[in-house]
A and B are shown apart, each in its own frame.
Chain A
Amino acid sequence: QKEVEQNSGPLSVPEGAIASLNCTYSDRGSQSFFWYRQYSGKSPELIMFIYSNGDKEDGRFTAQLNKASQYVSLLIRDSQPSDSATYLCAVNPSGTYKYIFGTGTRLKVLA
């Protein structure tokens, strides 16, 4: 079992729709969870981080964390073509300061 798992996609949504991206992790003691966006050929850039169970909203983005089920999700409302990118989930497992990334989900927002 991989430490952080994501569906590689592509996930295609029409412009203006809600995009839902999911991530599961294996280490139950993980404390910190991050969503990064990566455009082709570029380095990852942080969208959101979340530490506590529940929802965290920032503009069009909402991160959801469920530690009991060991998943974290990212919702993108009113999706725009400029949101088309790969979205990486990263987790900080317990007992270490390293960040483990999933393989990323490729999102395509169709105009």
Chain B
Amino acid sequence: DTGVSQDPRHKITKRGQNVTFRCDPISEHNRLYWYRQTLGQGPEFLTYFQNEAQLEKSRLLSDRFSAERPKGSFSTLEIQRTEQGDSAMYLCASIPVSLNTEAFFGQGTRLTVV
């Protein structure tokens, strides 16, 4: 257990529904990342926050995806109008503010869109 908590661990939803995932990082970690991973691929960067500020967002992220970190603590990732192509593992990672530090990953949320 890295100390990064994600909820839920699994989510099955029907196409077109909205889903929201939560990530609780390690408390003293300022930086929080969201990644998406599909079978046979490495984690794909989605977005990251430093404290409550969203500093970078992948160009691959469509308008259906939104992430927040309102108080610089936990973060949520929402996917609106889910599509089958959204089925993946969604990983959250947190890092202390200093650069060159490992990212601590949560256990992930596995999303299946049916």
Contacts and interface: CB of A to CB of B under 8 A. Distances in A.
Contacts of A25: none
A45 B105 contact: yes
A104 B45 CA distance: 15
Interface residues of B, number: 26
B74 interface: no
Contact of A101 (B40, B42, B56, B108): B42
B43 interface: yes
A90 B48 CA distance: 16
B31 interface: yes
B7 to A, nearest CB: 14
Interface string A14-58: 000000000000000001101000000011111001010000000
B66 to A, nearest CB: 18
A44 B56 contact: no
Nearest to A2: B42
Given A43-B107, A97-B55, A97-B56, A102 B48 contact: no
A51 B8 CA distance: 35
Contact of B108 (A32, A43, A96, A102): A43
A39 B7 CA distance: 20
A98 B107 contact: no
30 contacts: A4-B42, A31-B99, A32-B100, A34-B102, A34-B103, A42-B107, A43-B91, A43-B108, A44-B43, A44-B105, A46-B102, A46-B104, A49-B100, A88-B43, A92-B99, A97-B48, A97-B50, A97-B99, A98-B33, A98-B45, A98-B56, A99-B33, A99-B45, A101-B35, A101-B42, A101-B43, A103-B40, A103-B42, A104-B41, A104-B42
